[in-house]
Amino acid sequence: MMLAIDPTQKNSFKRQISNGDLVIVYERHDIMKPVKVCEGSELQNRFGVFKHSDWIGRPFGSKVLSSKGGFVYLLAPTPELWTLALSHRTQILYIADITFVVSYLEVIPGCLVLESGTGSGSLTTSLARAVAPTGHVYTFDFHEQRATQAREDFEKTGVSSLITVGVRDIQGEGFPDEFCGRADSVFLDLPQPWLVIRSAGKMLKQDGVLCSFSPCIEQVQRSCETLTTSFTDIRTFEILLRTYEVREVTLEHGGADDIGSPGPSLPCKRRQRSHGSTNGVEKSGSSVPMANPCGESRGHTGYLTFARLKCV
């Protein structure tokens, strides 16, 4: 869903596209582009020319045609789609890791979440949706230009009222003292997270949860050693996701063996019946949906280490 910019409103899904809205132009599962709708503007791609004026008033999810008959879909910028379409200023977290982080950090509406660093804002956007409408995400990045670009992106996606972006070297300075004992959860994506664990512990409420994302196991080991001083229930996970592509396959000669199906062949008559034969004559060229593992499935992204602050 799209988040309302007005913090007094609950999460609301805009059903129709308006002038000035951000839409995700979907060409195929691996080609998407965020576009701001502007009456009088056009989008040109390999499918033709698309006039923005034709989009206004249509519901999100619409299929729109170009001047030469090509088409794209206009989708609402959910955090999941934004993760796939955003500009990568840094390495980002993807949906599998993000959903696990939001769940294991126990982020619910009304929570106060601290994050460092902001990076491309992929996780930040999902955290904002999770804490809405009354919670808030405070995210910090030491790189001023990245922080500025992140603010602009949050404005585009309509979550800026739920996120405050700060410029701060959290590894060197720690989190600001104003958050002491106020944070429900803390997320770290830093080269040396063990330097911030003590500061993060001061920010958390009793029984609050911390998560640290690290690509290397040596970072995990050092972080875990530091966590044992004031945290408990320390766990590390690696999330591996295998995706499948569903597409139509044309069967020639009606045999299951023609598409590499495992297992023994069906008897000839049974094959004919199962593929819709008429009067014992087999139909050729029938299409069936097939699900195959994607060759580009992502493997290791990083390790997620969670820990709960000890109650004193």
18 known ligand binder: no
199 known ligand binder: no
Write down the residue that tokens 């998407």 correspond to.
32
Spatial separation of the C-alpha atoms in residues 286 and 298, rounded to whole Å: 33
169 known ligand binder: yes
Is the Cβ–Cβ distance between 185 and 115 less than 8 Å?
no
Spatial separation of the C-alpha atoms in residues 231 and 45, rounded to whole Å: 52
Rg (CA), the chain: 25
What's the one-letter identity of residue 218?
E
121 known ligand binder: yes
- Choose among 127, 129, 117: nearest CA to 188: 117
The annotation places the binding site at: 120-123, 141, 169, 189
Residue list for the binding site for S-adenosyl-L-methionine: 120-123, 141, 169, 189
